[in-house]
Structure 1
Amino acid sequence: MANFDQDQLKQLAKGSSKAFQLIFDRYYSELIHIAEYYMKDAKQVEDVIQDVFLQLWEKRSKLKIHTTLRAYLVRSVQNKCIDKLRRNTLSDKYQDDQKFKLREAILMQSYADNSLGVLYEKELKEKLVDALEKLPEKCLMTFQLSRDEGMKNADIAKEMGISEKAVERNMTRSLKILRRELSEYLSSIVL
């Protein structure tokens, strides 16, 4: 672990708010970007980051980190995002969409720590691109507006000049095709 991290963690354990502020300033931006990968909603992203730093502060005196502080914080953000996606899956009316995001998040997390993870992630991205090319034009456009642009169904419907029901059908069809095409990558994940 870097000397900076070790020094700040020692000070943090003693209750130093200055050490906490230095850690926050050093890692905040990076953690925001990581949370944004998992979640599109800015409020949820901010909530996750706030929860991670609150937990760091609350557990400061008992904290035992066996990796780098950065790795600990990144893993904490990933876990919080996955937990939030799990809860959203139960309450969100678009359960298929949330399950797909959750599976993708779990898959990415599970391979992020090992040396094959980079190769696997590259292969998965290539498979995802191939799978997206198999989507019908309207489904692909709907999927991209939802995922890449973060648009809501009502906005997509207006943009494409179709009904919200048609948007929902396009998303359902897109997710069904993507699940089928990416099944070898997602099948090992049990929800």
Structure 2
Amino acid sequence: MQPFNEKQLLEAISKGNEKAFEIFFLHYYPQVKGFITGLLQSPEEAEDISQDIFLMLWGNRSSLNTINNFKSYLFRVCKNAAYRHIERALLFKNYQQKQAEKVVSTPENNETDDKIQLRELELLVAMVVEKMPPQRKKIYKMSRESGMSSDEIAQTLGINKRTVENHLSQALTDIRKVLFIAFILFF
């Protein structure tokens, strides 16, 4: 295989060179799939999303040579695709849960709409937490379920307090994003 020159490959790809795209694909596909697998914890879903990303790149090939920092761009596309996938999956599960509750609910059921909505939001948050990377999920649960402080978590796990705070911040950002979308779609 020839040495990998990203700029030349992107230029060739933007002109429709399939061989250049093949070289490009073989170079980046393992990285893309590995990155998405790390986010989703599902190699099968990561493979589908990775293939979709490369199809999208080929479809938009004419503009690839205009991107300054392609690797950064590519992994931002990967992250966004993975988050969209998670959001769609969570919304679909939430929809299924709502439909199941409608079938099960009876007129005698005294639960108010507020209680039902609260349960749905709790379920949505639980699903977001379950999709988090293992370390972030563990830290979030130690903080929120066990009531441990950042210092206590850092000491227990033998990591820096700042690392704990970063994980908690990212966990809350992930939850906020999904709750915002759910709020817009369902309330």
Following superposition, the deviation at residue 130 of structure 1 comes to: 5.8
Does structure 1 residue 177 correspond to structure 2 residue 136?
no
Aligned CA distance change for structure 1 residues 97 and 18 (closer, same or farther; 3 Å): farther
Inter-partner Cα distance in structure 1 for 2:24 and 2:71: 9
Aligned CA distance change for structure 1 residues 180 and 13 (closer, same or farther; 3 Å): farther
Paired residue secondary structure (2:145): helix
TM-score, L = length of structure 2: 0.56
Q: Is the 8 A contact 1:8 1:19 kept in 2?
A: yes
Letter in 1 for 2:76: R
Aligned CA distance change for structure 1 residues 61 and 53 (closer, same or farther; 3 Å): same
Inter-partner Cα distance in structure 2 for 1:178 and 1:41: 28
Following superposition, the deviation at residue 29 of structure 1 comes to: 0.9
RMSD of aligned C-alpha atoms? 3.5
**Aligned mate of 1:66, from 46, 65, 68:** 68
Q: Is the 8 A contact 1:13 1:60 kept in 2?
A: yes
Q: Which runs of 5+ in 1 are unaligned?
A: 106-124, 136-175
Aligned CA distance change for structure 1 residues 96 and 58 (closer, same or farther; 3 Å): same
Following superposition, the deviation at residue 95 of structure 1 comes to: 2.9
Q: 1:34 maps to what in 2? A: 35
Aligned CA distance change for structure 1 residues 179 and 33 (closer, same or farther; 3 Å): farther
Aligned CA distance change for structure 1 residues 14 and 82 (closer, same or farther; 3 Å): same
Following superposition, the deviation at residue 177 of structure 1 comes to: 1.6
Q: 2:86 maps to what in 1? A: 85
Inter-partner Cα distance in structure 2 for 1:128 and 1:3: 38
Q: 2:14 maps to what in 1? A: 13
Does structure 1 residue 25 correspond to structure 2 residue 54?
no
Q: Is the 8 A contact 1:38 1:81 kept in 2?
A: yes
Q: Is the 8 A contact 2:36 2:78 kept in 1?
A: yes
Q: 1:96 maps to what in 2? A: 125
Would you say how many aligned residue pairs link Structure 1 and Structure 2? 128
CA-to-aligned-CA distance 1:81-102 (integer Å, 9 cap, x gap): 0000010110125633432256
Inter-partner Cα distance in structure 2 for 1:3 and 1:22: 8
Following superposition, the deviation at residue 129 of structure 1 comes to: 5.6
Give the 4+ runs in structure 1 shifted more than 4 A: 127-132, 178-184
Aligned CA distance change for structure 1 residues 180 and 24 (closer, same or farther; 3 Å): farther
Q: Sequence identity of aligned pairs in percent?
A: 21
CA-to-aligned-CA distance 1:8-35 (integer Å, 9 cap, x gap): 0010011001011001100111111101
CA-to-aligned-CA distance 1:138-189 (integer Å, 9 cap, x gap): xxxxxxxxxxxxxxxxxxxxxxxxxxxxxxxxxxxxxx62798679524455
Q: Is the 8 A contact 1:38 1:101 kept in 2?
A: no
Deviates more, 1:93-102 or 1:32-41: 93-102
